[in-house]
Structure 1
């Protein structure tokens, strides 16, 4: 029983830790619209990823070896470069909550890719949780008179696909033996930043003027929104099932909506509160069975240990 409780506590603890990352990412929408220069999504993505990656590698210097060069390039582009660009395009073109709503297709894509790449089985409760979450998000952010630009919606969907693929491949490949999470995160942030840099310079150029507010915004997105959040995210991927981690991302739009309410004086209608409740319900449904499976895994491990030590 104590072993089972420790195992259950470990799972719940990592679920709560994992939720910190999407809560931080939910602040991206407020920071982007209120603190960053207008119409420079590529450079915003560069300034978010590259300084954080280089800082991590400064303190944990190491280079990939062998096949990990290609894997690092792939993960850096999927998890960081492509995802960041799509995220900032969506954030500039769509209301914050709507951008998060489009991105919420990620758990569906992760479920599909987990079957194709990780050979996992689909579970009915996960589909139900996903539908509940998307329905809640729709109630939370959509309005009857809202007109959404197609480019923003497509950018959000592309970002969800990019990160979903990177998430599943991160779980499949793990990280190189002997390499810390900080180094592994630094590789990906650096690759993603350098991947975006030439596109940003050619298409947008450097901002001509940077205010103190702009610098604070970039600093927050790099040190907190990238460095801290991705350290947490990649560590959680090691500890938890990949689909469970993807469902935690539903906390991002909830965070965006609450920050909009408290910081931007946006209103929350009764319908939106119902939507927020549905999002919380979706997260709980998706994670309840994760904890249950953790209990079963602990019980099986305990039984195996007893059988292996039983004298023949």
Structure 2
């Protein structure tokens, strides 16, 4: 714990290091979308999610053990179960299944519309008032979402792609709901405990789904597929979130939220670079609208 305190002091004095860490985290998360897409060549989407978050959960339990952080309060276990279902089970079951039909770059943009849904749900359940500029930002973000979805509905008319996109939008809404639920029920629990145990409960839900849906499907464990599991489980899920929650104790939430907008940008770039995914005008225009909308909404929140 003393080393963590020293590291926190170092970061306070070296703001450039904070920016570098944020850049590395969002770069890893953006690249992880490509690995999630490629992993479908070796196993079913639910099975991969079970491997990924099972590995991530074990890593987080080791982190808590090393940091000598005990169990969360008993009265919070039920809330952690709900958070795990919303944050891990629903989000990544729907995202991984949607990736069977939707490009990795477009999927990352749709999922990172999450701040829009978080804000809308917060007005309902947290009684947060939306300032005028924030409402404008949310409207622009929703317009961007409709630009991406609408093009496929009216021009491509591929029911499989539309179905996959809708699954990922539902995942984004579930992610937003988990953020609101966290603020309602788990705000007084250590963020590392929340991340570890919601992931634990969420992983159990994913394992059950994988046995029910893909129990007899083949799993090809090769050097490449194991790399996908370890990278997304240990690095992208466990370690990056550990560093991320640590940074959240140093930087303000608005800066953190705005910085996550780099993830879909990197996701689209790697999709184009490594998977030869096409960046259509609707994806580019819609993506910029979503990013601009979320940026305006967060600037309005900061001013408020």
Q: Same fold (TM over 0.5)?
A: yes
Which aligned pairs between 1:247-266 and structure 2 lie closer than 5 A? 249-266=260-277
Give the counterpart of 1:173 among 171, 185, 188. Answer: 185
Across the two proteins, how many residue pairs are aligned to each other? Answer: 282
| TM-score, with length taken from structure 1 | 0.74
Distance 1:31 1:138 in 2: 27
- Asked if 1:199 corresponds to 2:209, the answer is yes
Q: Deviations over 1:53-99 (max 9, x none)?
A: 12211231422222111111111111111211111111122222443
Structure 1 regions of 5+ residues with no counterpart? Answer: 1-8, 294-312
Report if the CA contact (8 A) 1:43-1:200 is conserved: yes
Aligned match of 1:72: 80
Which aligned pairs between 1:108-123 and structure 2 lie closer than 5 A? 108-123=116-131
Distance 1:51 1:20 in 2: 21
- Asked if 1:289 corresponds to 2:266, the answer is no
**Quick one: structure 1 residues 99 and 274, their matched pair in 2 at CA, closer, same or farther if it must change by over 3 Å?**
closer
| TM-score, with length taken from structure 2 | 0.75
Distance 2:96 2:285 in 1: 28
Higher Cα Rg, which structure = 1
Shift in Å, 1:192? 1.1
**Quick one: structure 1 residues 253 and 146, their matched pair in 2 at CA, closer, same or farther if it must change by over 3 Å?**
farther
Shift in Å, 1:220? 1.1
Shift in Å, 1:125? 1.9
Shift in Å, 1:286? 2.6
Give the counterpart of 2:44 among 40, 47, 71. Answer: 40
Aligned match of 2:141: 133
**Quick one: structure 1 residues 273 and 108, their matched pair in 2 at CA, closer, same or farther if it must change by over 3 Å?**
closer
**Quick one: structure 1 residues 204 and 290, their matched pair in 2 at CA, closer, same or farther if it must change by over 3 Å?**
same
Distance 2:261 2:211 in 1: 33
Report if the CA contact (8 A) 2:143-2:289 is conserved: yes
- Asked if 1:26 corresponds to 2:30, the answer is yes
Aligned match of 1:83: 91
Report if the CA contact (8 A) 1:45-1:88 is conserved: yes
Shift in Å, 1:11? 12
**Quick one: structure 1 residues 91 and 260, their matched pair in 2 at CA, closer, same or farther if it must change by over 3 Å?**
same
Root-mean-square deviation (CA, aligned residues, Å) is: 3.6
Structure 2 regions of 5+ residues with no counterpart? Answer: 1-12
